[in-house]
């Protein structure tokens, strides 16, 4: 009986060790890049550690650029999707909002990013964003619809907000005080940890799609 248990354990370990490593690129702005944090505390390194703690053999590429808009992301996506990349996290649009860019332009840029990923056979997790009300109801309605619409059109995975792990906390004031940097825009290392914990399961779904497509 002991020998049987040992054989099963060895078999399970061998299966995990033999799993093909998945490479995922995270295309985004300063939130993805890890603005204001030591490199190891940013979103991409923390997410990679979280995924590996779940037993995934995964390599994450930080394709976040501070200040980037969806137009900037579009200009970079083709060379970001190198042959080893099987999955893409797209988290762009915040700087479009800060600049008041026409939602039609934002939609067109994200649509082109999704097309590029689809043509490359890369699975996508699209991270959404909600516009504030200060641009008016028409702007907000048009902008908020972009992400779920595109995710549905391309059969992509969808996650409603990069900051969901913080905005879902019951005390918004405490969340801002305890988990955000002084600018009120970028999370602290502890804030990133909550963001990763909330988004992580959806990234696991992305990895599962990549593995299914690769037959691994």
8 Å CB contact between 39 and 75:
no
DSSP 135: G
Query: Length of the chain in residues, anyone?
Result: 216
8 Å CB contact between 80 and 68:
no
Write the DSSP string, 58-86. Answer: EEEEEEE-TT--HHHHHHHHHHHS-TTEE
CA distances, 114 to each of 78, 83, 186 (Å): 11, 17, 26
Give catalytic residues, as residue numbers: 30, 183, 186
8 Å CB contact between 120 and 154:
no
Q: How far apart are CA 209 and CA 196, in angstroms?
A: 19
Q: How far apart are CA 4 and CA 23, in angstroms?
A: 35
Characterize 129-152 residue by residue with b for buried, 16 or more Cβ atoms within 10 angstroms of its Cβ, and e for exposed: bebeeeeeeebbebbbebbeebbe
Q: How far apart are CA 69 and CA 28, in angstroms?
A: 8
């Amino acid at each position: 009986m002991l020998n049987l248990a040992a054989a099963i354990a060895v078999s399970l370990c061998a299966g995990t060790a033999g799993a093909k490593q998945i490479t995922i690129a995270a295309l985004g702005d300063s939130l993805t890049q890890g603005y204001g944090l030591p490199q190891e505390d940013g979103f991409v390194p923390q997410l990679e550690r979280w995924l590996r703690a779940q037993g995934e053999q995964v390599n994450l590429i930080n394709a976040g650029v501070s200040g980037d808009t969806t137009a900037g992301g579009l200009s970079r996506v083709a060379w970001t999707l190198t042959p080893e990349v099987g999955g893409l996290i797209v988290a762009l649009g915040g700087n479009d909002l800060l600049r008041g860019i026409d939602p039609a332009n934002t939609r067109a840029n994200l649509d082109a990013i999704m097309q590029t990923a689809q043509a490359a056979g890369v699975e996508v997790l699209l991270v959404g964003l909600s516009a504030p009300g200060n641009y008016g109801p028409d702007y907000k309605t048009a902008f908020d619809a972009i992400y779920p619409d595109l995710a549905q059109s391309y059969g992509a995975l969808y996650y409603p907000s990069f900051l969901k792990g913080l905005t879902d906390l019951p005390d918004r004031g405490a969340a801002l005080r305890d988990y955000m940097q002084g600018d009120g825009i970028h999370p602290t290392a502890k804030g990133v940890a909550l963001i990763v914990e909330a988004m992580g399961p959806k990234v696991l779904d992305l990895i599962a799609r990549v593995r299914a497509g690769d037959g691994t």
